[in-house]
Amino acid sequence: ELGITAPKGYDVSFHYNVQMEKHHFGQTHPMKPWRLVLTKGLVTSYGMHHAMKNYTTRAATYDELVSFHSQDYVNFLGSVAPQPTPLDVDNPNPDLRFNLGGSDCPLFEGLYDYCSQSGGASLDAARKLCAKQSDIAVAWGGGLHHAKRSEASGFCYINDIVIAILQLLRVHKRVLYIDIDVHHGDGVEEAFFSSDRVMTVSFHKYDPHTFFPGTGALEDNGPKSEHNPGAHHAINVPLNDGITDEQYQWLFERVISQCVQKFQPEAIALQCGADSLAGDRLGKFNLLVQGHSSCVDFCKKLGIPMILFGGGGYTPRNVARAWAYETAVAIGQEEKMASTVYIPDHAPYRQRFEYDGHLLPSIEQILGEPRQNRNPQKKLLEIVQHVTEQLRFVAA
Ligand code: VJV
Ligand code: CA
Ligand code: ZN
């Protein structure tokens, strides 16, 4: 432990339930709920729990799940038997519905509990913000942004983010949703497509033919009809492989500061999918924990109440490093952890630091093969210009 103390002047809450971490999507499925065990382990070994209010979350109730999802879908999720072996994508079981039971969204033992636990944690985080009992609420078990009203998609069954934002809207006039997962936040965008009280902003790899889910082009900004209040309230930042910390930070700050200025949100929901990190099994970017977490730091400094959700992240040790570091950012103690985050510029030596006479292991990041950067600065400038033009139509 690093002598971590509570932040001055604001409250951070941590929403967690050990029920979530025990579930398995299947032996070789990329989504590993036990990355939450690693995250929690780092957070507590650094002593961060002393600086937060820690809540054991409950499962979301049926009524809470159907605040967004259809009853048909939730009933089916609650009643369907687990599939003993993962199904072949090419031979989906015709008895199964709602996109369930394929290889992306398998039917595993305890699925309903997993879904309702994720929803419950995010909803508890939202309620803390609504009660003004928390300034930053952390729910790493949430962030499942692809789930639709009546459909599972991309490892997501229940959209805990949408359920949490609906809760925030009871108290907050406008909510800004930001998504730094490497995939497009399509489920959240679609859910609030017709609303001018939620602005959604997703940064993602975009390739309609080869990368899931294939949506989120720069020009997709909400309903085309000017009579629809949701017009111009969906912002998409499509990127190519290999984007670096410097470029991502540059874009993030330019896009988000304009959105905040125009939209004047009263709360922020930040999905911190860690598959945008270098070395991710599914992702294609080159971000380090430093670049990824700078998004959290930037949002924190806006001084707007915020929920931090998890999301994707398929190299579990990197996920834990990022989310532990971002928890440290939330409580304003990142400098105590910074010295243990490996800085690859100084490779190949391993940084080991001393604290109180003890050696702290470095938490070096698994980087894999560096990805070629296919993001020319000119493209990034065009993105910023397009966002500026869209936001001309938005008034708080
Ligand atoms: O690309 C797809 C869909 C296919 C059909 C299913 N096959 C396996 C892959 C192609 C078209 N799905 C994506 C879904 C990504 C979901 C990301 C979720 C999040 O991070 O945004 C939020 C939590 C995809 N990419 C890679 C895989 N699926 C994949 C799935 C597997 C797998 C390997 C890769 C499922 C089972 C197993 N291996 C054993
Ligand atoms: Ca995204
Ligand atoms: Zn993802």
In this structure, are residues 225 and 231 in contact, taking their beta carbons and an 8 Å threshold?
Answer: yes
Say yes or no: CB of residue 313 within 6 Å of ligand 1. Answer: no
Say yes or no: CB of residue 391 within 6 Å of ligand 1. Answer: no
Please give the distance of CA 277 from its chain centroid, rounded to a whole number: 12
Say yes or no: CB of residue 144 within 6 Å of ligand 1. Answer: yes
Neighbours of 223 (CB within 10 A): 15
CA of 105 to the centre of ligand 1 (A): 8
In the chain, domain spans? 12-391
Q: Confirm whether 29 is a catalytic residue.
A: no
Residue to mutate (ligand 1; options 83, 146, 212, 215; most atoms within 8 A of CB):
212
Per-10-residue mean pLDDT, the chain, length 396: 83 97 96 96 92 98 98 96 63 76 95 98 98 98 98 98 98 98 99 98 98 98 94 98 97 98 98 97 96 98 98 96 96 84 43 45 74 97 98 91
Q: What does the alpha-carbon distance between residue 190 and residue 169 come to, in Å, rounded to a whole number?
A: 16
Say yes or no: CB of residue 30 within 6 Å of ligand 1. Answer: yes
ipTM of the complex: 0.98
Q: What integer pLDDT is reported at residue 353 of this predicted model?
A: 40
Per DSSP bridges, beta strands 12-16 and 53-56 are parallel
Which ligand lies nearest to the CA atom of residue 270 in the structure? 2
What letter would DSSP give residue 277?
A: B
Q: Return the sign of the alpha-carbon dihedral for residues 182, 200, 121, 102.
A: negative
Q: What integer pLDDT is reported at residue 348 of this predicted model?
A: 38
Q: What integer pLDDT is reported at residue 352 of this predicted model?
A: 41
CA of 155 to the centre of ligand 1 (A): 7
Say yes or no: CB of residue 275 within 6 Å of ligand 1. Answer: yes
Per DSSP bridges, beta strands 358-360 and 267-271 are unpaired
| DSSP character string of 93-127 | -TT--TT-SSSSS---TTHHHHHHHHHHHHHHHHH
Say yes or no: CB of residue 29 within 6 Å of ligand 1. Answer: yes
Per DSSP bridges, beta strands 353-355 and 358-360 are antiparallel
User: DSSP H helical segments within the chain, as ranges?
Assistant: 18-21, 35-45, 62-65, 71-79, 111-130, 160-168, 186-191, 245-263, 289-301, 316-330, 334-338, 377-391
Nearest CA to ligand 1 atom 32: 29
Say yes or no: CB of residue 28 within 6 Å of ligand 1. Answer: yes
Please give the distance of CA 324 from its chain centroid, rounded to a whole number: 14
Nearest CA to ligand 1 atom 19: 312
Q: Which of 69, 145, 183, 184 is catalytic?
A: 184
Q: What integer pLDDT is reported at residue 363 of this predicted model?
A: 65
CA of 273 to the centre of ligand 3 (A): 6
Angle of helix 316-330 relative to helix 289-301, nearest 10 degrees? 30
Nearest CA to ligand 1 atom 1: 212
Residue to mutate (ligand 1; options 104, 183, 207, 277; most atoms within 8 A of CB):
104
Q: What integer pLDDT is reported at residue 335 of this predicted model?
A: 86
Q: What does the alpha-carbon distance between residue 173 and residue 162 come to, in Å, rounded to a whole number?
A: 15
Nearest CA to ligand 1 atom 3: 212
Nearest Cα to Cα of residue 314 among 35, 16, 61, 26 = 35
In this structure, are residues 66 and 77 in contact, taking their beta carbons and an 8 Å threshold?
Answer: no
In CATH terms, is domain 12-391 a member of 3.10.20.740? no
Say yes or no: CB of residue 101 within 6 Å of ligand 1. Answer: no
